[in-house]
Amino acid sequence: MIPAKVDDYTDLQKIGEGTYGVVYKATKISTGETVALKDIRLESEDEGVPSTAIREISLLKDLKHPNIVRLHDVINSDRKLTLVFEYLKQDLKKYIDSCKDPIPTRQIKSFLYQMLRGVAYCHEHKVLHRDMKPQNLLINKKGELKLADFGLARTFGIPVSSISKEVVTLWYRPPDVLLGNLKYGTSIDIWSTGCIFAEMYIKKPLFRGKSPKNQLKKIFKKMGTPSKEAWPSVVKLPGWSEYNFQEYPGKTLQELVPTMEDPEGFDLLSRMLQCNPAKRCSAKEAMKHSFFNDIKK
């Protein structure tokens, strides 16, 4: 088998730029297939390949699912690593921003169900995505949604070891992680998915903090400051005594997401946006919720 080369692709068109490099839309010369090329700069020989790229490559080689972006190839050239992905037209953030009218409920259900399918598959294979946000969810012309950007993802096992709190973009980070929980599990992705669920209705992030403390304050103001009775282990988290938040009563989900009219939707959202991670539903449980009854085949 002949190793792939960057010269095997043409019509390079820049479509995005991230921390470690640039993403291009390109055409594979031999087949005419449209792909996305993610260039990862190797700044020096000493630094080597960024850990995010190593994680993404190793995980995506094993994760094969219709709702997870497909990694076709890896091209290693001088001072640059190029990942060849299937091409999807836009991300969910761009889709939400492009909709002048409210997104139809049926479309929201379809996107959320596909999100949960991808997350459930990851969790079944002992992988936490850890960076669920609209920008990391790609959509093609058929309306298929796929999880992308596994740079912060990691495998987990039992017992759960202490792992990094520097995960998940701030607006989608769960309160337990914001408070210093380093023994989180699959519930980290469920909170983020719940935030995205609400965002598809209100067309803006549900919690928009400027710092971890400010993010927690915004969550507690809207969801209510958790009590020790509702979340007994919260008092053991480093940030609980450090931040010493006042007791906010919170608002109803109907107030927070006024464009959602389905009682089943509010019930599902409440199961995902539980401050206590032990009370959040799993992705598999969420997929079985009656909210999806009219779209299941």
Residues labelled as active-site residues: 131
- The answer to whether 72 and 84 are in contact (CB under 8 A) is yes
Rounded distance between C-alpha atoms, residue 56 and residue 53, angstroms? 5
CA distances from residue 244 to 156, 170, 213, 247 in whole angstroms, order as listed: 31, 20, 10, 9
- The answer to whether 243 and 234 are in contact (CB under 8 A) is no
Residue 218 annotated in ligand binding: no
DSSP state of 138: E
Rounded distance between C-alpha atoms, residue 253 and residue 94, angstroms? 25
Decide: helix, strand or coil at residue 243.
helix
β-strand partners of 228 = none
- Residues ≥6 apart with Cβ < 8 Å to 263: none
Which two tokens mark 38?
């993610």
Decide: helix, strand or coil at residue 146.
strand
Rounded distance between C-alpha atoms, residue 38 and residue 245, angstroms? 42
Which two tokens mark 31?
């087949």
Rounded distance between C-alpha atoms, residue 139 and residue 103, angstroms? 15
